[in-house]
């Protein structure tokens, strides 16, 4: 094309046939990329003016072609780019994702007034300013926020990041992309250690300079806090258990006596004091059928085999709708108890205090023995 022919371009835009659309795309691309020749300033201005007139009446396929071609043009007219950015997402996507012409306020207006898909296109821009990130987070869509967190070019303010850290308790999808961000404050990673998965805890240990003991203590505190919520212990029985312990009467002996007298709540209070486990887990240990959990907890407290056998038998009888005592089952759990080392049992109980998976710990200690 030796010179820009406005009428020719308008005719191409009006023609809906596939081959003419392809010709239009190639023509616009050639003009902007200088494949035929470099446009003068006057010709570029004329070209933009033709595009403005053409786009008002052009169908979506044509507008999409123009958006794709203008997306990486640094001196494209702002009004033309903004018009494309507010078009249907099929048109807007290219300029929203790539155009350097769009300013912060332009992007914020699109976030506020256009669709979720428009927000997603903005969230993956090569560079997202803090104010734009704040606006995307305030819009509140989890998929958009996740895309933003995955974008290393997105700048996120400290206040917004702190908000998202708290939200990650509820929204698992935020956790991994947030932890992989280079701008995440170590203090935020430490907080997240208390509620993320085991795999992400491992990632935190390997990628942040934290003392493992500090992290484990955080988990233990979280487990105790959780226990103090929905299943708080009975204060009277706990006070009595503390008195028994402080008077040196022997928690094991008094636990057996409590079971014989049918004082299950008192037994649980003393067992809780002896082991440091929370109420929900103690109930699970007492009522699970195999007895392995009770064996582990008792061995960690260095209860003798004879006292464990008594506790196990009495605890089976205290269960509601109990089946007849299975002597083979008793023999099996006693053999397990004898094989189990106190050190291995203490390791499992320490993990339980930090709310690590109950069954997995049981399986692992059984394999070791």
Structural domains of the chain, count: 2
Residue 356 included in any domain: yes
The Cβ-side half-sphere exposure at 149, using a 13 Å CA radius, reads: 26
Would you state the pLDDT for residue 110? 97
Average pLDDT (343-359) is: 71
Query: What's the pLDDT band for 285 if we cut at 50, 70, 90?
Result: confident
Report the distance separating Cα 154 and Cα 147, nearest Å: 10
Would you state the pLDDT for residue 34? 54
Q: Apex CA 196: angle with CA 361 and CA 127, to 5°?
A: 155
pLDDT above 60: residue 18: yes
Residue 241 included in any domain: yes
Which of residues 102, 134, 163 is at a domain's end? 102
Residue 323 included in any domain: yes
Average pLDDT (130-149) is: 95
Residue 168 included in any domain: no
Q: Where are the beta strands (DSSP E) in 32-108?
A: none
Pick from 208, 172, 168, 163: which is nearest to 190 by CA?
A: 208
Would you state the pLDDT for residue 90? 95
Residue 92 included in any domain: yes
Residue 82 included in any domain: yes
Residue 238 included in any domain: yes
239 CB-near residues (< 8 Å, 6+ apart): none
Which of residues 102, 137, 155 is at a domain's end? 102
Radius of gyration of the chain (CA): 34
Which of residues 63, 78, 102 is at a domain's end? 102
Pick from 118, 143, 142, 122: which is nearest to 131 by CA?
A: 122
Would you state the pLDDT for residue 321? 44
Average pLDDT (58-86) is: 87
Domain span including residue 32 = 1-102
The answer to whether the pTM exceeds 0.85 is no
Q: At what angle do helices 142-150 and 116-123 cross, to 10 degrees?
A: 10
Residue 328 included in any domain: yes
pLDDT above 80: residue 167: yes
Lowest mean pLDDT among 34-38, 91-95, 152-156, 174-178: 34-38
- Per-residue model confidence as pLDDT tens digits over 85-127: 999 999 999 999 999 999 999 999 999 999 999 999 999 999 9
Give 128's strand partners.
Answer: 154
Q: Apex CA 154: angle with CA 150 and CA 159, to 5°?
A: 100
Would you state the pLDDT for residue 358? 47
Give the tokens for residue 337: 């108890």
Report the distance separating Cα 188 and Cα 149, nearest Å: 14
The Cβ-side half-sphere exposure at 276, using a 13 Å CA radius, reads: 14
Give the tokens for residue 150: 């995955």
Report the distance separating Cα 244 and Cα 250, nearest Å: 7
Would you state the pLDDT for residue 190? 87
């Amino acid at each position: 094309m030796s010179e820009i022919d406005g009428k020719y371009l308008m005719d191409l835009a009006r023609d809906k046939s596939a081959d003419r659309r392809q010709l239009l795309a190639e023509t616009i691309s050639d003009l902007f990329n200088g494949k035929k020749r470099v446009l003068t300033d006057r010709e570029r201005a004329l070209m933009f003016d033709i595009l403005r007139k053409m786009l008002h009446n052009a169908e979506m396929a044509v507008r999409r072609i123009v958006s794709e071609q203008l997306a990486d043009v640094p001196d494209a007219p702002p009004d033309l780019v903004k018009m494309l950015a507010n078009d249907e997402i099929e048109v807007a996507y290219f300029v929203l994702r790539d155009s350097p012409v769009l300013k912060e306020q332009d992007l914020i207006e699109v976030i506020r007034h256009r669709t979720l898909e428009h927000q997603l296109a903005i969230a993956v821009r090569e560079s997202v300013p803090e104010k734009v990130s704040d606006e995307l987070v305030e819009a509140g869509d989890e998929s958009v926020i996740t895309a933003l967190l995955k974008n290393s070019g997105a700048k996120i303010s400290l206040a917004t990041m702190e908000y998202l850290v708290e939200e990650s308790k509820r929204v698992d999808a935020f956790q991994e992309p947030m932890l992989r961000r280079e701008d995440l404050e170590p203090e935020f990673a430490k907080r997240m250690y208390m509620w993320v998965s085991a795999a992400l805890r491992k990632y935190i240990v390997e990628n942040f300079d934290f003392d493992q003991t500090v992290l484990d203590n955080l988990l233990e505190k979280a487990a105790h806090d959780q226990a103090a919520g929905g299943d708080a212990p009975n204060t009277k029985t706990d006070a009595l258990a503390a008195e028994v312990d402080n008077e040196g009467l022997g928690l094991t002996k008094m636990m057996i006596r409590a079971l014989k007298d049918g004082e299950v709540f008192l037994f649980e209070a003393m067992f809780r004091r002896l082991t440091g486990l929370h109420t929900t887990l103690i109930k699970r240990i007492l009522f699970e059928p195999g007895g392995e959990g009770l064996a582990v907890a008792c061995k960690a407290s260095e209860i003798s085999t004879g006292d464990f056998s008594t506790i196990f038998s009495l605890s089976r009888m205290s269960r509601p709708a109990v089946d007849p005592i299975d002597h083979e089952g008793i023999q099996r759990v006693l053999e397990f108890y004898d094989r189990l080392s106190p050190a291995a049992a203490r390791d499992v109980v320490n993990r339980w205090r930090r709310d690590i998976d109950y069954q997995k710990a049981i399986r692992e200690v059984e394999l070791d023995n």
